[in-house]
Amino acid sequence: MKIVIDASVAVKWFNIEEYSDEAVKLKNLHVAGIIKLIAPLHLIYEVGNSIWKNRQINNIDASNAVLYLLELEISLIPPDRKSIKRIMEIARNKNISFYDACYIELAEKYGIPLISADKKQIEASKDIIKIFI
């Protein structure tokens, strides 16, 4: 089973916050090969930026966290021409950022769930695809 995750889920693997336990369980299912996590290519940059902002993590550990994210072999999907048009449509119709709309478009494109802990993302997505927290 494939599932799209957004950065709000992946960040919880490195920062202890609400829903961190659920996010770690999801990651462990991916590592065990029970599910396959996919995300837009920019996930790595969003998570890296969030880790960078966390000043409780030193530079070496922060870099290692981003490298670990790559080692998880999440399928990071770049947009294609058709996707760009749909992403822009979603972003404008839902009044969300272009990069947040990428997650919705990817889930919509593959007909798979999007898992998010971002309330704005969940609200914007609820009439398009199935969302779990």
Can you give the pLDDT at residue 133?
54
Domains with residue ranges and CATH for the chain = 2-132 (3.40.50.1010)
Question: For residue 129, what is the DSSP state?
Answer: S
* pLDDT reported for residue 66: 94
Helix, strand and coil in the chain, % to nearest 5:
60, 10, 30
Return the pLDDT at 90: 96
Question: Would you state the pLDDT for residue 128?
Answer: 65
Can you list the residues of the chain whose pLDDT is less than 50?
Answer: none
